[in-house]
Chains A and B, each alone.
Chain A
Amino acid sequence: MPKMFPGGVHPKDGKALSAGSEIKTAPLMDKYIVPLAMHIGAPAKLIVREGDKVLKGQVLAEANGFVSAPIHSPTSGTVISISKTSTTGEMLSVNNCIGPTGTLIPAITIESDGEDKACEPLPTIDWQNADAKTIIDRIRETGIVGMGGAAFPTSVKLSPPPEKNIDTLILNGAECEPYLTADHRLMLEEAEKIVQGAMITAKALGVEKIIIGIENNKPDAVKIMTEVAGDRAVVKSFPVMYPQGAEKQLIYACTKRRVPKGNLPMEAGCVVQNVGTMVAIYEAVVNGIPLFERITTITGSPVVEPGNWKLRVGTTLDKVLTLAKGVKKDVPVGKIILGGPMMGMAQYSLTVPIMKNASGVLLLAQNEVKQYESLPCIRCGRCVDVCPMGLMPATMSVQIEKEQFDLAENTNVMDCIECGCCSYACPSRRPLVQLYRHAKSEINAQRRKNSQK
């Protein structure tokens, strides 16, 4: 079967390191640093104070507006420190947490009391007979966000404007990023929960059709999901090509529909969700448990014991690496990445906590990474050949270097999905994705300025 979108690249797979490891549950840590902004949208609003005693699953911060999500405590214990706000609401500087983007972010530190006592779970919802609003309210209440990495509040995604004609729910089981195997193991071990979660989501959306998209380097996952789903969902498998799991490409592969330029998947009548989000929805609706833990792959050549772990939010990276028995003595570490190697964020500190969207912790050895000198564009065209969105990265990069952002906007830089294929393929080692991020922030700032005029 030919690949289902233009371009794409084949980075080294690396999944063998952890694909065979069953999901293990992490032991209780003594401290959890829970950031207030683990999702796209406004950071949550604090409702606890320093010194408060909290239970596992208790709400620490409320959702702040429509596009936002609440934060729940990962364990029982005491709140020992919080970022302070002044009387006018502005954040003063007790930022006690380095976030994955490298900047200091507000966070709540919980000191565990060792008992891990849970608060009363929310009542089970009989979702087969409940109405969509009840389900979506529960999803919002339990702080569920997209677990694939984007962390968009799921309740918002499941509440499209009524005039959009949604008819298909697509589950993203592709996991096209190299090295990551969390979704793979989830599909092998919790297939029933995934399918039930999908049914609940379909009920909330009011759709009948559920398609599960999986890359065919996971034949065991394809087999199990097909068996478990039965006639409740259709399982489709695709040839391996990064980024098959990107939303627009996945929608085309599953339904042959193209999302129009600059629009959201709902314009093509589809909603895409990660399989991990499905399990979280099942737990929330059926068991009344809010979202405070997720499956993360800890892997990389310097790691002593790569594997897949169920981690609670707020676990810092140093503790996470201890679970994997640390790093090998003679393998110096070059990069620590939260996420996968193609779209993840490089870290410089081990005090960064795991958030709701951390799908992987990847370590790369020093001999696997280099500090590259960026050379001028030689117009070889490799980036143009591999771009899955059909853009012209070479042209755009030269325009952005010369700060011609309006020209770059005409060359469609705003449609870039930042997948990294172009930078991967560039022989001049140009930091293309960074240039496009810069251009996007400049263009957005300019649009805001224009709309204010």
Chain B
Amino acid sequence: MDNQEIILPDTSNLIVSSSPHVLNKEHVNGIMRDVIIAMIPACAAGIIFFGISAFNVLLLCTLFCVGLEGLMLKILGKSMNALKDGSAIVTGLLLGMNLAAGTPWWICLIGSILAIVLAKHLYGGLGYNPFNPALVGRVGLLIAFPAALTTWPVNRLSPKVAAMKEAISDLMNNDTSLVMLQNSGEFTKAQYAAIKEAFLNKTELLVDTISSATPLDAISQATMNAEGVVTGMPEMEYMDYFMGYIGGCIGETSALAILIGGAYLIFRRLIRWQVPFFYILTVLIVTGIMHMIHPDMSATPLFHILTGGLMLGAFFMATDMVTSPVSAKGAVIYAIGCGLITAVIRLWGSYPEGVSFSILFMNAFVPLIDRISAKKVFGSKEAAQGGAA
């Protein structure tokens, strides 16, 4: 005799929904959180290289973006739950990573307004924006405040700083003198002044006020005279480029840090591997062809992929889900397009860097790419009739 009482379910709290009734565990909030984790290595590298001013820029951009997102949600009468998905934090960090350390706070604010208000909410909010918000912010700032956005502070771990520190210790040991340093031409006026100040006042070398050029700036200075002799082409220091001991935006300098983050993203299936792969491959091929034709006048393909914002753009900006095509085939077309335009701007355009513009340009084509790369419905190829096979 069964002494266990048979209990029937309580039907007052049942949920009724359409099928399917089991769902995969992944959620948008989790995706954004993983993207933020993937950006940590690059942000950390930026802070190490450029100091507290880099941290300030990242923090300010993130805070402004989150604050503006909350404000816009309120004004537009949408649910504040949307703040929880972390997309504003991602935009803020990306915007910060695209700016130079030491950017004034009001430029960060204007950039955040361009990114969140203009590029995201005026188009309808998350999921509806056609253009990458962080890039709209960056390009808007670049066109409005070109000087502020192309002033790069010196990378504390760059060889130049190491040389300056060595000069100071030489001065201390009396191996050289101020006059000799000034005449050697090894340092710019600003750098010499910093060395002099540090030596005479016996203080730490202040690098934050010195600016330097990025490697891409450097190769754009190269000239060829009438006899075909090239001057001004810098040495290719691949290790420096890979590790990031160069000038540039906060997030773009260290290829290594970005690769670590990018590997995490691909491993967790948060981005399509086709985008960075084909983007970088296309740039390699185009710049490689150019290098073969003009080996003295153009940089090597490896130089191109390790410097500038290409790594950052390929792994974090072009892979933004909302603004890239929805299918794998479309993503390949998109990435190749980005690569071509980046290479063209870098090689023949007047801007030394082409990544931001190329991605925004391809964003505009995404609806068209989606349409032409639509998958074929299962069964639409074959004509009717079985029989054979």
Please state if A167 and B14 are interface contacts (CB–CB under 8 Å): no
B328 close to chain A: CB less than 8 A: yes
Complex formed: what's the CA distance from A250 to B257 in Å? 46
Complex formed: what's the CA distance from A35 to B200 in Å? 99
Of the residues B8, B10, B370, B380, contact of A318 by C-beta under 8 Å: B8
Please state if A376 and B15 are interface contacts (CB–CB under 8 Å): no
Flag the segment in B27-35, B67-75, B102-110, B204-212 that touches A. B27-35
| Residue of B325, B376, B384 with highest tally of chain A CB at under 10 A | B384
Please state if A341 and B20 are interface contacts (CB–CB under 8 Å): yes
Please state if B377 and A325 are interface contacts (CB–CB under 8 Å): no
Complex formed: what's the CA distance from A375 to B199 in Å? 60
B294 close to chain A: CB less than 8 A: no
Enumerate chain B residues within 8 angstroms of A434, measured Cβ to Cβ: 17-18
Known A248-B379, A424-B24, A429-B27; contact A268-B386, beta-carbon cutoff 8 A: yes
Please state if A380 and B321 are interface contacts (CB–CB under 8 Å): yes
Flag the segment in B46-54, B123-131, B154-162 that touches A. B123-131
Known A332-B10, A378-B28, A437-B18; contact A384-B375, beta-carbon cutoff 8 A: yes
Enumerate chain B residues within 8 angstroms of A382, measured Cβ to Cβ: 26
Please state if B30 and A384 are interface contacts (CB–CB under 8 Å): no
Enumerate chain B residues within 8 angstroms of A167, measured Cβ to Cβ: 386-387
- Contact string against B for A residues 1-18, beta-carbon threshold 8 Å, 1 for contact and 0 otherwise: 000011001011000000
Please state if B327 and A260 are interface contacts (CB–CB under 8 Å): no
Complex formed: what's the CA distance from A426 to B28 in Å? 9
**Closest chain B CB from A150 CB (angstroms):** 14
Enumerate chain A residues within 8 angstroms of B2, measured Cβ to Cβ: 325
Of the residues B4, B14, B28, B377, contact of A412 by C-beta under 8 Å: B377
Complex formed: what's the CA distance from A137 to B282 in Å? 66
Enumerate chain B residues within 8 angstroms of A371, measured Cβ to Cβ: 15
Please state if A348 and B14 are interface contacts (CB–CB under 8 Å): yes
| Residue of A165, A336, A366, A378 with highest tally of chain B CB at under 10 A | A378
B378 close to chain A: CB less than 8 A: yes
Residues A273-309 near B (CB distance < 8 A): 302, 304
| Residue of A9, A329, A332, A376 with highest tally of chain B CB at under 10 A | A376
Please state if A269 and B22 are interface contacts (CB–CB under 8 Å): no
Please state if B384 and A267 are interface contacts (CB–CB under 8 Å): yes
Residues A234-273 near B (CB distance < 8 A): 248-249, 252, 255-261, 263, 267-270
Complex formed: what's the CA distance from A11 to B13 in Å? 25
Please state if A392 and B375 are interface contacts (CB–CB under 8 Å): yes
A428 close to chain B: CB less than 8 A: yes
A188 close to chain B: CB less than 8 A: no
Of the residues B6, B9, B30, B389, contact of A325 by C-beta under 8 Å: B6
**Closest chain A CB from B321 CB (angstroms):** 5
B385 close to chain A: CB less than 8 A: yes
Please state if B385 and A165 are interface contacts (CB–CB under 8 Å): yes
Please state if B27 and A329 are interface contacts (CB–CB under 8 Å): no
B81 close to chain A: CB less than 8 A: yes
Of the residues B13, B19, B85, contact of A433 by C-beta under 8 Å: B19
Complex formed: what's the CA distance from A337 to B19 in Å? 9
Of the residues A6, A339, A375, A379, contact of B321 by C-beta under 8 Å: A379
**Closest chain A CB from B126 CB (angstroms):** 6
B7 close to chain A: CB less than 8 A: yes
Residue on A nearest B6 in the bound complex, by CB: A326
Complex formed: what's the CA distance from A135 to B304 in Å? 75
Complex formed: what's the CA distance from A433 to B17 in Å? 10
Residues B81-95 near A (CB distance < 8 A): 81-82, 85
Known A168-B386, A261-B380, A427-B27; contact A384-B7, beta-carbon cutoff 8 A: no
Please state if B385 and A335 are interface contacts (CB–CB under 8 Å): no
Enumerate chain B residues within 8 angstroms of A153, measured Cβ to Cβ: none
B235 close to chain A: CB less than 8 A: no
- Contact string against B for A residues 411-440, beta-carbon threshold 8 Å, 1 for contact and 0 otherwise: 110010010100111111101011001000
Beyond A343-B19, A344-B19, 18 extra complex contacts between A and B, CB < 8 Å:
A6-B378, A267-B385, A268-B385, A302-B9, A327-B7, A335-B15, A347-B16, A368-B22, A372-B23, A375-B126, A375-B127, A376-B126, A377-B127, A381-B272, A389-B377, A392-B370, A395-B326, A425-B26
Q: Which A residues fall within an 8 A CB radius of B?
A: 5-6, 9, 11-12, 102, 165, 167-168, 178, 248-249, 252, 255-261, 263, 267-270, 302, 304, 318, 321-322, 325-329, 332-337, 339, 341-350, 362-364, 366, 368-369, 371-373, 375-382, 384-385, 387-392, 394-395, 411-412, 415, 418, 420, 423-429, 431, 433-434, 437
Jot down 11 A-B pairs with beta carbons below 8 A, ordered by A: A9-B24, A260-B379, A261-B378, A263-B379, A318-B8, A346-B15, A362-B21, A380-B31, A389-B378, A395-B326, A423-B20
Q: Shortest 6 CB-CB distances between A and B: which pairs?
A: A269-B386, A420-B20, A376-B127, A434-B18, A326-B6, A333-B9
